[in-house]
Every structure is written in structure tokens, then in C-alpha cells.
Amino acid sequence: MFPKCEPHQPTMLSIICPLRDEEDSVQPFFARLLPVLKDLELDFEIICVNDGSQDKTLERLQAARELESRIRILDLSRNFGKEAALTCGLDHTRGQAVIPIDADLQDPPELIVDMVHMWQQGCEVVLAQRTDRSSDNWLKRKTAEWFYRLHNAISRPTIIPNVGDFRLMDRKVVEALKMLPERGRFMKGIFSWVGFRQAILPYARDVRKTGKSKFSTWRLWNFAMDGITSFSTVPLRIWTYLGLAIALASFAYGSFIVGRTLIFGRDFPGYASLITVILFFGGVQLIGLGVVGEYIGRIHTETKARPIYVVRERFEDVT
């Protein structure tokens, strides 16, 4: 349950849908989403961000817009990534409540009705939490579980497990998000960072209806790295403690060798493992440099201050 507060008076609901190579998903997505929105009896807009699709996604979106003028299309100049496409959608919303949703229909549009009702009762953020991830394979479920545990152990603020981008946000939340200018964007962390009054709406995630996921194992790994380095400096601090522990161990071992030589009058014969020790510590140093490099790379990206996305063309009514 969420704390009592003043009910919201809705005037417009904004739906954000980032798409990349989803030509087969467009028609089923709108066929299922539009009836839900129309039954709400609210004014609404659907902001579709075409994130550099190479198939007929844009053409399918334009065809859908001919049938429903409240569909707005933002065509990006290239593929900037889902986080950038989601940011683009947030920047262009006009509604008092905003809901990001994917076109693959794994997140049921029917849940929007419950989200809106909870928002109308005063909740500023409604989080859709997956209670059943059986649509994902075992490895993906376990790695997601490990990531949430690691991230929440070393980062602040914490991220509620099994909550994706599918959520409702009040306009004040969106305005707070628009104040964050960072280029390396991990949206789950950014959503958590701004806070506000939250409620959880559990649901079972469905299997993907059309197409295939754009997140390969390598991209998911990089995504996890972005999440950890965006909101925690613990990886840097670990190497300080590791270096201190190695230095103390080396000093203790050196003192032992000197003491044994002085007492017994002889040194240890030969060090066949010396090269192994050197290579080990060399590897440790390179890993440490790699961690430092991750943070330096982020500084480099931020100092260039390039825009997060570039809109090539808009397809929307002029207001």
C-alpha cells in the first residue's frame, strides 16, 4: 500500500514505446494497446521512438498513425540504444502520467488500467514487478538475480528486483528525470535515484510474442557493468583494500625470509615459482587498471557533452 495523499486529476496519459527492428510487433502491439487506452476514457498520446530500425518498423508506425492521430513518431538519426530512446520519449511527453512499455507484449497493456487507478488515488510511481519470469531461460533468471543482489549490496539507492522500465510516473517524476544530464544512462538506477512515493503492482510476465530480443549475452554484461559503475565507487575502493592487503602480506613474507636467514644462516634455495608470482600480480594490476579505466571512460564521455540522441524527423500533429 502507498501513503495517503491527494488524488490526481488526470488530463492526459503518455505512453512511451522505444522500437528497434520491430516490424512484426507494431500491428499486434497497437491492436492490444489502443482498446485499453480508449476504455480508460482519458486523453492519451503514444510516443513511438524509432531507434535506428533497419527493417520496416517506421513504415508500420506511419501506417498505424494514419488510423490513430494520437500516435506520435520520433525517428532517431541512428541507433542510440534503448536507454537513449527512452530518454527521448520522456523528453517529449506532455501527459500528467507517463508509462514506458515495450512493443513485444511481454508486459501486458491491460495492466495500465490498474496503474492509472493507483495513480489517480495519489501514487506518484507505480512499479510493475515481475512475479513469474518463467518466460526467461534459467541462466537469464539467475544472472538477473545475481545482478540485483550485487548492485543493491554496493550501490545507493537500491533497485527493487524484477522491476523493469514498465511503470507509471507522475509528471513531477518525469520533470525530475529531465534534470539529470548524464550521457551514460542506466535508467533503472536513474528511476530509483529520483525517488518519490512508490507502489508495487505484481504481474506475471508473458513470453515474447514476435521478433527476438536485441540484448545478447555480451550486451547484457555491458549493461550490468553500466549499472554498477553508474551508481557505485565500490569497485574502485576494492582495489585500494586489495593493494593494502597484498602490501601487508608481502611485508610479512619478506620479514619471515629475513628472520629465517638470520636465524638459520641460509636463504631459501631457488624460486621456481617466481615467474608465476610475477605474472599473477601483473594480472591483478591490469584488472585494477581496467576498473579505473571504466570510470575514466565515463568521465571522458561526460566531458564531451554530446547530446544523448538526435531526432531525424518527427511525425506528429503541430500544436
Nearest C-alpha neighbor of 108 from the set 164, 51, 45:
164
111 has a pLDDT exceeding 50: yes
105 has a pLDDT exceeding 80: yes
Burial call 216-238: b when 16+ CB within 10 Å, e when fewer: eeeeeeebbebbbbbbbeebeee
94 has a pLDDT exceeding 60: yes
2 has a pLDDT exceeding 50: no
Q: Which of 100-114, 246-260, 279-293 has the highest mean pLDDT?
A: 100-114
Give the model's pLDDT for residue 10.
Answer: 58
Maximum separation of any 2 CA atoms in the chain, in Å: 94
48 has a pLDDT exceeding 50: yes
Using CB atoms within 10 Å of the CB of residue 76, give its burial: 0 to 12 exposed, 13 to 18 middle, 19+ buried.
Answer: buried
Q: What is the DSSP string of 116-174?
A: HHHHHTT-SEEEEEEEE-TTS-HHHHHHHHHHHHHHHHH-SS---TTEEEEEEEEHHHH
Q: Note the pLDDT tens digit of each residue in 75-84.
A: 999 988 888 8
Eight-state DSSP code of residue 8: P
Give the count of beta carbons closer than 10 Å to the beta carbon of residue 65.
Answer: 19
46 has a pLDDT exceeding 80: yes
Is the pLDDT higher at 112 or at 131? 112
Is the pLDDT higher at 284 or at 139? 284
Is the pLDDT higher at 210 or at 110? 110
Range in 34-48, 217-231, 280-294 the model is least confident about:
217-231
How far is Cα 200 from Cα 126, in angstroms, rounded to an integer? 6
Residue pair 25/64 in contact (Cβ under 8 Å)? The answer is no
Q: What is the mean pLDDT of the chain?
A: 78
Q: Which CATH number fits domain 12-215+307-315: 3.90.550.10, 3.30.1950.10, 3.90.470.20, 3.40.50.720?
A: 3.90.550.10
Give the model's pLDDT for residue 61.
Answer: 92
Nearest C-alpha neighbor of 230 from the set 295, 165, 292, 179:
295
Amino acid at the residue 316: E
109 has a pLDDT exceeding 60: yes
237 has a pLDDT exceeding 80: no
**Mean local confidence (pLDDT), 85-111:** 89
Q: Where in the chain are the domains?
A: 12-215+307-315, 234-304
- Percent of the chain at pLDDT exceeding 90: 8
Is the pLDDT higher at 274 or at 196? 196
Give the model's pLDDT for residue 249.
Answer: 73
Give the model's pLDDT for residue 4.
Answer: 47
Strand order in the sheet with 163-170: 198-204, 125-132, 163-170, 97-100, 12-19, 43-50, 71-76, 311-315
The pLDDT-based confidence of 141 (bands split at 50, 70, 90) is: low
12 contacts: CB under 8 Å, gap ≥ 6: 42, 43, 44, 45, 94, 95, 96, 97
255 has a pLDDT exceeding 90: no
The pLDDT-based confidence of 229 (bands split at 50, 70, 90) is: low
How far is Cα 13 from Cα 97, in angstroms, rounded to an integer? 5
